[in-house]
Structure 1
């Protein structure tokens, strides 16, 4: 090497620095690849993605290959730079070569190529895999030897080098991915995906129609009253009970109306014959579970009961679907009848209004981990039944009772502080 021309040594040195930059950028590019996009491209038979995936099956071997190559070229570059410097400046050239080569490698073989690879991993990693894959086969014995030693040390430290990283995505991580997708996913579709994730956190009692608002048929009513109930119904299924909603005996589908009405009027025997058996749902059932249960049982309406078997309300398949896609039919309880905007920016809200519906309609953040209605929320925080109109401040919202009937809040004025 000492007898080689300076020009040839300089050319070799430049080539080694370029090789060092190649290995540095390859390492960063490979490790910065989005694993899920890589899987997608691999399924679409993208050649670069297939090569990169093959290399990433054993990251320890890939890193071993890249670092062996990087260290070999860096050490050889250091030796050549030292020879050149000694020829030019004598013994002082050692210090000059060390300082100069350190800066050159940092700038041209480390920071710059790694930054480019971090910003554009696919553009760097996929072409690099063309060289790395055959290089892995050629240098496999050396890579195997180095990995055997390092893997042994890792096992002594309690680390399994053959176990890949956890590529499963939690619901919160998936939520972040969907939220940050930006223009890649239309806003409406993004909202639907987030709503699906929210189904795990919402139970049927959060969206059910409370028992006091259930519209149905009481068999103890007269024939005329039952027919009037059927005529005024806006629902396709009506619960049927005797005397009290806790005595539900069935569900009547409106498509069977012609079978229970004859020339004389209502045929009660036919009414009871055409009823479907009630389907009971525990109040704590998560929405995603109940959606599957509706699908499995081919049902659309469930009667929500508490732990004592008391009926709490009704939940319909449409209610769950609306939690995902938004309102597409008339709700059993319409928010237009429960929330009334005022000129001063406040809202008159009925006591039976559902807290989650209020939050969705007004984009508020009233607490939903306790009572489900506005009346229940106010009474819980007051911790008593007020004798007269009262108000309270709750998490930045001012709630003023306007009408109280018995132990139930009928109307509330609500505003944001």
Structure 2
């Protein structure tokens, strides 16, 4: 065998041996190998996405994915069931932080299912909110998501209140928020795929209306003719009437309707209660 041919054979054997003996030396190398396996149809694309998400979670902190304070749906312990039920029904969440007179005081967590006895007994005025509260879990913004996920599994908690370095509430996080970083967005039967369900009757002569409801749909539902030449949504029309972004519990009357803000943050209105004025 010639020297050239012998050298080519050794080179080929070296590459073959290297291919079977090499191991990823870093996370980047591992991801490269996994993506190559996906390109070669050795690994399902969805499986690759989950693996990448699981690896990413170990580098992320609670502050990266938490629901900010301005977007939290909470129950005020001073409210009556008639006052807080519209928000609970419309949000379709299962757990709600309950705050006291101080907005940074979380007294506990209210589970929506714990409201069923009140509904069955039919006496909301006698409902004792504080007796139904579950203990709240408090965590710092800096906690890593993989550590939090493990704690959620061990304690069987599904929600934690996030505190900043000054001891103030900065947001909240649920086990679903963590899992979505791994498997992608999780939709349930309450997530809207279209504009259905923008207006829901709440009680006699009262309705819960999402602020993003198109004015045209509002007019069709209530057989009215609110103007839609300047704004597309009912929330935009309400904001125009105030001349500023309204706050929670503020009301305005528009062409025979009393519209009360049920939920809003520092950027937009989210939920309205609409009733016909007498």
Scaled by the length of structure 2, the TM-score of the pair is: 0.61
- Mapped pair 1:172 → 2:28: yes
* Residue in structure 1 matching 2:122, options 260, 263, 267: 263
Q: CA deviation at 1:329?
A: 2.2
2:46 is equivalent to residue 188 of structure 1 = yes
SS at 2:103 equivalent = strand
CA distance in 2, matches of 1:256, 1:116: 70
Q: Once the 2 structures are TM-superposed, how far is the Cα of residue 409 of structure 1 from its aligned partner? A: 8.3
Point out where structure 2 has 5 or more consecutive residues left out of the alignment: 196-243, 246-264, 269-278
Q: Which has the larger radius of gyration?
A: 1
Say yes or no: does 1:321 pair with 2:218: no
Conserved? CA contact 2:77–2:130, under 8 Å: no
Task: For residue 154 of structure 2, give the secondary structure of its aligned residue in structure 1.
Answer: helix
Is residue 17 of structure 2 the alignment partner of residue 109 of structure 1? no
- Cα 1:212–1:187 change in 2 (3 A) is same
Bigger fraction of residues in helix? 1
Q: What is the deviation of 1:169?
A: 4.7
1:414 match:
none
Separation (CA, whole Å) in 1 of partners of 2:10 and 2:98: 71
> 1:30-179 counterparts in 2 under 5 A?
104-105=2-3, 107-111=4-8, 113-121=9-17, 169-179=25-35
Q: Is residue 219–residue 226 contact of structure 1 (8 Å, CA) maintained in 2?
A: no
Q: CA deviation at 1:277?
A: 0.4
Match of 1:254 in 2: 112
TM-score (norm. length: structure 1)? 0.42
User: Against the structure 1 CA distance between its residues 266 and 203, is the aligned structure 2 distance closer, same or farther, given a 3 Å change threshold?
Assistant: farther
In 2, are the aligned partners of 1:203 and 1:286 still within 8 Å (CA)? yes
How far 1:282 sits from its partner (Å)? 0.6
Whether contact under 8 Å (2:138, 2:163) holds in the other structure is yes
The CA RMSD measured in Å over matched residues stands at: 3.5
Higher RCO by CA contacts (8 Å cutoff, separation 6 or greater)? 2
Alpha-carbon distance between aligned partners in 2 of 1:409 and 1:333, rounded to the nearest angstrom: 23
C-alpha contact (below 8 Å) 1:208/1:315 kept by paired residues: yes
CA contact (8 A) 1:202 1:287 kept: yes
Q: Which runs of 5+ in 1 are unaligned?
A: 1-16, 18-103, 126-164, 338-403, 412-417
Higher strand proportion, which one? Answer: 2
Distance 2:108 2:175 in 1: 17
SS at match of 2:104: strand
Aligned residues: 199
Q: Does 1:223 align with 2:78?
A: no
Shift of the alpha carbon at 1:260?
Answer: 3.8
* Cα distance between partner residues in 2 of 1:272 and 1:314: 20
- Residue 296 of structure 1 is matched in structure 2 by 154
- Whole-angstrom CA distance in 1 between matches of 2:97 and 2:173: 11
Quote the offset at 1:233 in angstroms: 3.0
